[in-house]
A and B are shown apart, each in its own frame.
Chain A
Amino acid sequence: MGQQIRLEVVTPTGAKVDEDVDIVNAPGFGGDFGVLANHAPFLSTIKIGTLTYENGKKREALMVSGGFCEVSNNKITFLVESAEKGSEIDVERAMRAKERAEKRLAQAAQQTEDFNRKRAEIALQRALARLKVAKM
């Protein structure tokens, strides 16, 4: 096995992941990026999306919502507001959230209320990310 990088996913309710992995793929601000061992110090914001990491043959996916990540000293730390593994996701609830957000978006398109549309968009992104992770 080649070199590994330490992955930490920290949320307000505690550390979610803390292990050595081969590669991390994350939804960065300017698009997805991958991080391997001994990456240069790096700081990026994180969008709502899927974080995947591989450890040998094992491949894991997490749904993450906004935050940022820091790479230094062969360690990658994600600070996100929430992180959920596929098995922890309530698919039905995510489906409902998706439908609700879509309905809201359709309503908001007729109005000019910017704030509500933004909220619905974020909710939709979250729901879609959850569904994607749950299917992995």
Chain B
Amino acid sequence: MPSLKEVKTKITGVKKTAQITKAMNMVAAAKLRGAQEKMEAFRPYTAKFNEAMSNLSSGANTNAFPLMESREVKNVELVVITSDRGLCGSFNANVIKLATKKMEAYEAQGKNVSLVCVGKKGFQLLKRSGKVRKNYNDTMGNFQMFHAREIATDIAAQFLEGNTDKVEIVYGSFRSVAVQEPASKPFLPVQPVEKDEAEERKISGDYIYEPSSEEIMEVLQPLYLNVMVYHAMLEVGASEHAARMTAMDNATNACGDIVRNLTIVYNKARQAAVTNELMDIVGGAEALK
């Protein structure tokens, strides 16, 4: 039986933990709202961009553009986007697990794999593999388009120099507040954007292009890469906060359970002490007779 004082200290400790997790839950909820708004604001931009890209790439010869060129794949690069901070359940672990799985699969095929880590957590766990080519820490907290541009430009330069033949993004996609899944999407070479049937009908072919459609493509493709990186970062941001919210909610509930159990232990111990004392008194009185 633990002593009364021990149990009491433990209860206060757990209660304090619960306060912290509760606060973190609320902070995550507020940040999640911000991240979701950012995603919402970005949606029209991506929608328009995809439309224009599919318009342009429908007739284009894919091998005419260096960023679209598909070569024999020897070197693969994975861009792993995670959060900077932990305490968000298995969110980062899942992304890293997917990245590791991909890495092993590519290596089994005899390909060289290099990694680019965006977000501190991914770097911390993946640096041991010795394959991290570049890492970006402390950008996920408050990132803007130019962060995405910096990352995308660097990756594209590697591709253009022939150091990488294929690039994939591995990130935590945001399905809903309750569901975040690790996912991956092809990044380079740039895939021609498929258009759905509804869009197909809408397109009027006779555009005036200034300059030519090919030259516009040259300008748009790097921008398209920025958009893809930015989009993935936005999703990871929202997923991170959603995951943390759930994790902290669970932690707060668990704290409540522990406190309840400890209170029972505490009461039992108190009761035992009272009974002991009573027995002593009764025993003492009995002895005096």
Query: B55 CB to closest chain A CB, in angstroms?
Result: 8
Query: Does B45 contact A10, Cβ atoms closer than 8 Å?
Result: yes
Contacts of B227 in A (CB 8 A): 12
B110 within 8 A of A: no
Cα distance, A43 to B226, chains bound together (Å): 20
A112 within 8 A of B: no
A52 within 8 A of B: no
Query: A33 CB to closest chain B CB, in angstroms?
Result: 8
Query: B269 CB to closest chain A CB, in angstroms?
Result: 59
Query: Does B41 contact A13, Cβ atoms closer than 8 Å?
Result: yes
Q: A45-B211, A68-B220 are in contact. Are A10 and B52 (CB under 8 A)?
A: no
Interface residues in A, total, Cβ within 8 A = 25
Could you count the A-B residue pairs with CB atoms below 8 Å apart for me: how many are there? Answer: 76
Contacts of A30 in B (CB 8 A): 210-211
Interface members, chain B 30-78 (any A CB < 8 Å): 38, 41-42, 44-45, 48-49, 52, 55-56
A107 within 8 A of B: no
Query: Does B219 contact A68, Cβ atoms closer than 8 Å?
Result: yes
Q: A43-B208, A43-B209 are in contact. Are A14 and B41 (CB under 8 A)?
A: yes
Name the segment of A54-62, A74-82, A88-96, A97-105 touching the other chain: A74-82
Interface members, chain A 16-38 (any B CB < 8 Å): 28-30, 33
Q: Size range of the interface on B?
A: 20 to 34
Query: Does B210 contact A29, Cβ atoms closer than 8 Å?
Result: yes
Q: Which chain A residue lies CB-closest to B205?
A: A41
Interface members, chain B 209-234 (any A CB < 8 Å): 209-211, 213, 215-216, 219-220, 223, 226-227, 230
Chain B positions 255 through 286: 1 when the CB is less than 8 Å from some CB of chain A, otherwise 0: 00000000000000000000000000000000
Cα distance, A13 to B39, chains bound together (Å): 9
Could you tell me which A residues sit within 8 Å of B by CB distance?
10-15, 28-30, 33, 40-45, 66-68, 70, 72, 77, 79, 81-82
Could you tell me which B residues sit within 8 Å of A by CB distance?
38, 41-42, 44-45, 48-49, 52, 55-56, 145, 149, 204, 206-211, 213, 215-216, 219-220, 223, 226-227, 230
Could you list 22 A-B pairs, sorted by A, with CB under 8 Å?
A10-B44, A12-B227, A12-B230, A14-B41, A15-B44, A29-B211, A29-B215, A29-B219, A33-B210, A41-B204, A41-B208, A43-B216, A44-B209, A45-B215, A45-B216, A66-B223, A68-B52, A68-B219, A68-B223, A79-B45, A79-B49, A81-B223
